[in-house]
Structure 1
């Protein structure tokens, strides 16, 4: 990474540590989302056999996939609370807190007894810990995205902010790699103790992430706000009063995450089901390959957005992803592994990466610094909640009865396309922000605040 500073006449010179902030966001997101994604693999492959009634496999699978979505339901609440703290007390504090909360919840999931040991209490405890994971994830990307955006040179905000998502993709690679040898265990060992190992490893993951994130500095923008006494006492109230249209826009745009959840969880379950019968390990390798390509694609798409704008790059992903999803699901139905690998890489590794790479910059640039964490957190997490429950919706659509007139993999593809259309419209009708100086972002939406509405904060 190379730093290119940008100055304006009369404006502040670029300062801070863009590289350090990007690395801290990358590593922390990788470690945090390792925890989050191992749950997705377990929900698709393991939990129907461990925590739910196997006498009805279809219902057990649907219930297990629904627990994956529970974390997304918890995210809006976490976004309100953690966004408030991030805008009042700083981005760094939230980045540390979310990492610890995710690590503890993940480790405890690995310690849970199954349904055979404690009956219905087992899935109840699983849901509770999944809620804690959701609360953590609600503040993770908003705080990390704000951190990198506010440290970055103005002309490279897209590039530096994309490292938050590169970390997320790397976390998914690690999670899948860990599950590869686990998936080859005999069923008796897999369902008794084997599946627990990836969750227990989160303890080491959390300690490493905490060590790295401790060293990052608070952002210059927030530090200046503290020095000037311009930190809002109730940032969420200010956000909803002055930036409600942008919150709504981010909510609608964020449902594009449905592509990710359908690809990584539902498609994996569908491919390895009795109906299709593909090998678990091979399908996990498809995910690894797609995410590896995404690691290269994300910064390239983000750098392009710094040159031509956020909107055109995002729309490439929003329009292209549902088209490729149809192709990918068709490849799975064909049973051709070479075709599955090719289409999986193109769908998730290349096309979806266009939208995924630039959303931290696109969404963050809609808000001023005094409400940025709250705006990103609340907007994205409500949209992500829709994406999280899209997995259970896809399972219902794919069932013999279908939902809302949709049925089978084709119905899942149509469902995904509709949500992507919502996302595309939200972004296409928004303003372009990639050339706006960092300190002026969101200024047009801010109204003068009453002095008593602001408070001092400590970094």
Structure 2
């Protein structure tokens, strides 16, 4: 990482990473919300409601299937050509796909072509976000002052709750419409607004500087000819552990923002708008807590802080589901918010933690491959598997709870194992770090 980065360059890179990821996650979360509330009715109308939601969650997963492709393609470009220009392309690609979803005819208009086109556009979204996250993290971390890489990388993680807040606010506004108007044109408005947000994001991102450490590596020809091949040859164990360490950093949002949204509104009778307000409040909690969590992790040790956060999350998961199952929106908020405090503490540190596992010439590809393969295996499948378990048990939530806790335990195990490997890379590059 670049220890000589000027404070201005570091702040500008952090802002650019935050703005870009916030827009990308706004676009990505819109689809998840629409999957829970709209797409089953408009694109799979011939199925019963529960099966329609399951089918919509299937198209939701397509975006996750495409994310590793985006990580590989844009990771290659980012590690060979540069971080900045690669991230401009990912932002434009995501904006195009999201805007196009807002214009898409429904099943009633064009039949089977409607869900097929929906799948294609979701795949494009997946490619874009697959290339975005790793580059944004690397851009912020490599422009950070010495020893602050994880804290600055946290600003890329802030894009997730910011995107969730923004998408939820916009969906709240349109969901206040009568059902007929909401299902006819109201749901399209959030997708069409993406065009404006992308334009704003580009203005910010074009002003950022390429990290000096990468510029030096490129000038010295210290770049990999085929980064993917070298990552798989020299760091495949790190990739596997990175996949495991990322599980709840990805899956947690889709338990709460997607599965719980569908479960609470379809099965528990909580109103659509009420539950959106609950999730909005939870996103605000996450957005406010993550910067403090990153500071605490710097002080007490990042690995120790992540381990305590994940262990705490395991403890509060069962109460969270019991509070949601009560059907009381206030209790649901308390349960999800408490779990989010623990989960987002770990998530705030995850990005910087992963960057230390890979040398600079493989970093973009390495963390993208780890994170995006995890998104395919565990992220996109989360609402699908949870809904399938709910359907199979005729509404019993306990299998979902067990599945959630198992993923948390696996994440904790991999974080502890990966911490031992990242220490070797940090020593080789003399990266100041506080492993704990």
TM-score (norm 2): 0.94
- Aligned equivalent of 2:413, options 425, 428, 450: 425
CA distance in 1, matches of 2:118, 2:307: 37
- Asked whether the 8 Å contact 2:90–2:131 carries over to 1, the reply is yes
- Asked whether the 8 Å contact 2:3–2:144 carries over to 1, the reply is no
Deviation at 1:437, TM superposition (A): 7.0
2:252 is matched with which residue?
Answer: 259
Cα shift readout 1:42-80 (whole Å, capped 9, x = no counterpart): 000011111002442121110001111111111112111
CA distance in 2, matches of 1:134, 1:51: 20
Aligned Cα root-mean-square deviation (Å): 2.0
Indicate yes or no: 2:184 matched with 1:192: yes
- Aligned equivalent of 2:24, options 4, 28, 32: 32
- Matched ranges for 1:55-454 at <5 A: 55-256=47-248, 257-273=250-266, 275-348=267-340, 350-385=341-376, 386-401=378-393, 408-431=396-419, 436=426, 439-440=429-430
Deviation at 1:323, TM superposition (A): 3.3
Indicate the larger mover: 110-119 or 154-163: 154-163
- Asked whether the 8 Å contact 1:366–1:441 carries over to 2, the reply is no
Q: Are the structure 2 counterparts of residues 370 and 84 from structure 1 closer, same or farther at C-alpha, using a change threshold of 3 Å?
A: same
CA distance in 2, matches of 1:195, 1:371: 41
CA distance in 2, matches of 1:106, 1:276: 30
Q: Are the structure 2 counterparts of residues 199 and 13 from structure 1 closer, same or farther at C-alpha, using a change threshold of 3 Å?
A: closer
CA distance in 1, matches of 2:3, 2:257: 43
- Asked whether the 8 Å contact 1:176–1:284 carries over to 2, the reply is yes
Deviation at 1:34, TM superposition (A): 0.9
- Asked whether the 8 Å contact 2:278–2:329 carries over to 1, the reply is no
Size of the alignment, in residue pairs? 427
Deviation at 1:310, TM superposition (A): 2.1
Q: Are the structure 2 counterparts of residues 362 and 81 from structure 1 closer, same or farther at C-alpha, using a change threshold of 3 Å?
A: same
CA distance in 2, matches of 1:265, 1:317: 22
Deviation at 1:319, TM superposition (A): 2.4
Deviation at 1:328, TM superposition (A): 2.0
- Asked whether the 8 Å contact 1:155–1:306 carries over to 2, the reply is no
CA distance in 1, matches of 2:288, 2:327: 28
CA distance in 2, matches of 1:253, 1:197: 36
Q: Are the structure 2 counterparts of residues 101 and 309 from structure 1 closer, same or farther at C-alpha, using a change threshold of 3 Å?
A: same
Indicate the larger mover: 206-215 or 313-322: 313-322
1:453 is matched with which residue?
Answer: none
- Asked whether the 8 Å contact 1:79–1:139 carries over to 2, the reply is yes
- Asked whether the 8 Å contact 1:250–1:379 carries over to 2, the reply is yes
- Asked whether the 8 Å contact 1:107–1:201 carries over to 2, the reply is yes
Cα shift readout 1:406-445 (whole Å, capped 9, x = no counterpart): x722211110111121111111123355894794359xxx
Deviation at 1:378, TM superposition (A): 0.4
Q: Helix, strand or coil for the counterpart of 1:326? A: helix
CA distance in 2, matches of 1:150, 1:212: 18
Deviation at 1:116, TM superposition (A): 0.5
CA distance in 1, matches of 2:334, 2:305: 22
- Asked whether the 8 Å contact 2:242–2:418 carries over to 1, the reply is no
- Asked whether the 8 Å contact 1:91–1:147 carries over to 2, the reply is yes
Q: Greater share of helix residues, 1 or 2?
A: 2
